[in-house]
Amino acid sequence: AQSVAQPEDQVNVAEGNPLTVKCTYSVSGNPYLFWYVQYPNRGLQFLLKYITGDNLVKGSYGFEAEFNKSQTSFHLKKPSALVSDSALYFCAVSRGGSYIPTFGRGTSLIVHP
Amino acid sequence: EAGVTQFPSHSVIEKGQTVTLRCDPISGHDNLYWYRRVMGKEIKFLLHFVKESKQDESGMPNNRFLAERTGGTYSTLKVQPAELEDSGVYFCASSQVSRGNEQFFGPGTRLTVL
C-alpha cells in the first residue's frame, strides 16, 4: 500500500521569507510524486510532479520540490513567499505507471504580510 | 478551454435522503475520476472511468454509492440513502493520456448530511 505523510497541519511564514511544506511518502517501486494547491472555493490545481529525471522539479508560481529517494521525501519549497500563496497544499504519490494518486491530509500555508 | 465543472457546489440533506452529484469533465478527456475528502483528512480515491467504462472502483465505500458515466461525457455520483459519514467534499477530475494524463480537478461539491 502507498501512503503520504504531511506532518504539519499548518505552516506560518512571513511574506518574503522562504517556505517549506514537508511531505514524506511510502510506495513500492518507483514513485510518481505530485503537489496540488487548493485556494478557497476552488478545485485542486496542479503545481508540479516528479516522474523521473532531475531530483529538483520546478513548477507553477515559483514553487519547486526536491525528490530525495533516501529520505523518501518530496518537500515543497519557494524562495520568497507571497501572501497570495496562502492556501491548502496536498502532496500525493502513486506507484510508477499509475496516475491515481494517494493524497496526504493537506497542509494549510498561511503567509503573513 | 473550460475546466472541470461540478454541480451543485453545496448540498445539505437529511440522513436517509438521496443526493446526486454531477461532474462535467474537460471536453475530450476520456478519463474521469471521483475523489472524496472528509473534513481534515486525506483526499481518497473513489473510482475511475475510461470513457463510459468503470476502470477501477476499488475506492467506493459501499453499495449506497452509484456512479455512472453514460455516453462517456458527464458523470453522476448518487448516494442513496445518505448517511452522516458521507459528509465531505466530493471532487471530480479528468485527464487525457495524450496530454500526459495530468488530472484537472473541479471545485468540488460540499455535501453535508444532517
DSSP character string of B28-82: T--EEEEEEE-TTS-EEEEEEEETTEEEE-TT--STTEEEE-GGGS-EEEEESS-
B99 pLDDT band, cuts 50/70/90, is: low
Residue A108 has pLDDT above 90, yes or no: yes
Question: Does the beta carbon of A31 lie under 8 angstroms from any beta carbon of chain B?
Answer: no
DSSP three-state, residue B69 = coil
- Given a contact cutoff of 8 angstroms between Cβ atoms, the answer to whether A37 and A86 are in contact is no
A100 pLDDT band, cuts 50/70/90, is: confident
A43 → closest Cβ in B44, B91, B95: B91
Mean pLDDT of B55-79: 93
| Chain A to chain B Cβ contacts (< 8 Å) | 45
Three cell numbers at A101? 494518486
Q: Which residues of A touch B44 (CB under 8 A)?
A: 103
Question: Does the beta carbon of B58 lie under 8 angstroms from any beta carbon of chain A?
Answer: no
Give residue-wise pLDDT tens across range A21-69: 999 999 988 899 999 999 987 888 989 999 888 899 999 999 999 999 9
Three cell numbers at A79? 524562495
| pLDDT above 70: percentage of residues in chain A | 100
Mean pLDDT of A60-81: 96
Question: Does the beta carbon of A4 lie under 8 angstroms from any beta carbon of chain B?
Answer: yes
- Given a contact cutoff of 8 angstroms between Cβ atoms, the answer to whether B107 and B83 are in contact is no
